[in-house]
Structure 1
């Protein structure tokens, strides 16, 4: 009996020793990452206005940049805000799919597209902020991918707003041109962002922003018009539509996010104090995520509550809209690929 007890105690002692080795095993699995560096230690293309420290060293292995997901650096919060939001979208997608037959119900396909578009732009943004620091070419490549994701989301939002949120009188006004124009503006937004990034070394920061902001603003004005008309009509009639409140929050959150995208606040007021937390781009991410989440909730309610209306208005439009979605995504991807080739050529000439 005593022998058995001693054996059990010995095993417990060995197990305790193994538990103590776990931190060492984790350290070997996740090696110590190089420290972040100052803005002066990285190429110009990686530097952000009023952000002085927290930059990751370029020209490291891909494994290093993936592991920086768990490191404190000036892009960490930008990565996590959209990464967590992408996971929330997947959960929301699962919940909606339990009640909606995306395959057999053609009127559910625009809802599927907006969920796919939201997940795409959030994932592309997370990858851009996580992996763009590897090299100058990687920086351009992943941000071009980000711009493609944004353009896809712009068209997906336009389609969903036109299909589910629009009122009949506004539908009569815009039905002939809305979706083709939305697709064109989405492509123009992708082109403007990619070209602005490509020529940014030759332009002031404000001019670079104009290439991003002006086409995106045109796209947003068209895409949100069914929602704004719906909000105005509802308040004029004094209706109590539950989706309208979510649509109001969508517009509010987007406008706040747009402000912080255009103006580098609060880091402009506190240079060097927002290197890791509190940057305007981080605040932009948070409010854009909130905008996306309330938008999807509003559209889910519209999908459920307004079926009689959108079935009557749109008929078989969903099939053509999906084809236009694929065409727009392909055009944006090809545009980004073309501008990336131009960047690659310029970088080679600079080295030579």
Structure 2
């Protein structure tokens, strides 16, 4: 009799615990302490000074860049804390949890066909909230391994943006990833989740008709607006001069990778056919560190001259990427924008001699 009563009470308490646990999602962007944050941006240094695992961090509370005391591969750093629900899922299947890892440069054994978008990211979610982590690092995260950081990520600078969204926003995020034509290399999206996300995870989604781009306003869990710009391969133009600068005000300074290999880089663009100038950033200096060139900086971002707009992006400014899908996630925040704008040390002027001189002295 006592055993039966004990079992009933424990069963009730367990069900209540599960109920309350389900009301407060663990799937959120998290900082170095493991505290939940609405959004964050990381900027990992290149390895020029043997500091290739150190990173600068920013969120709504920091008022600009701070140097993390962790390294990027640490199991107690920002990325590991954010990815924890995925690691838990690897240990045991958790009902009501979904994820998708996508990349144009996925880890082995996968190879992404060039018909897919030039884009890298992580989506984690449950029915309460989720995170969209957009980044620039090839082979990240390592396939089904809690040692998530790839060695190839050490050499170059990289950027990450994580935003916590309510569950309902992942329907629209699925649409944006469809236009990007993201290559999903690992995923498990429950059948009860948004079909738009499941379709991308199954590599079965891409636009079938015009327009060949999509713009969406996404609202974070704490009410901050982000604008997602996405272009499909048939858009046929540069992401920055063909889409971003036509939808936000101000001259745009674009930081993309300077090593173009066999591809032809696009010059800075001051054409009258676009409403604002688009300049290539050639050199960056993080706080209290030496400046480094775009040839060791694999991050992709752009900022307006007044700092009103900042975007973390997927694409380089080169001819070959005019024919590929990709996107940018932008926010109208002058504190964040100026933190990026102040990093710029050199940019490429347009060929027109009347255009802006390409060097800043801070």
Higher relative contact order (CA 8 A, sep 6+): 1
Please tell me whether Structure 1 or Structure 2 has the larger radius of gyration of its CA atoms: 1
TM-score normalised by the shorter chain: which range applies?
A: under 0.3
TM-score normalised by the chain length of structure 2: 0.24
Q: Which has the higher strand share?
A: 2
Structure with bigger helix share is: 1
Q: TM-score, normalised by structure 1?
A: 0.25
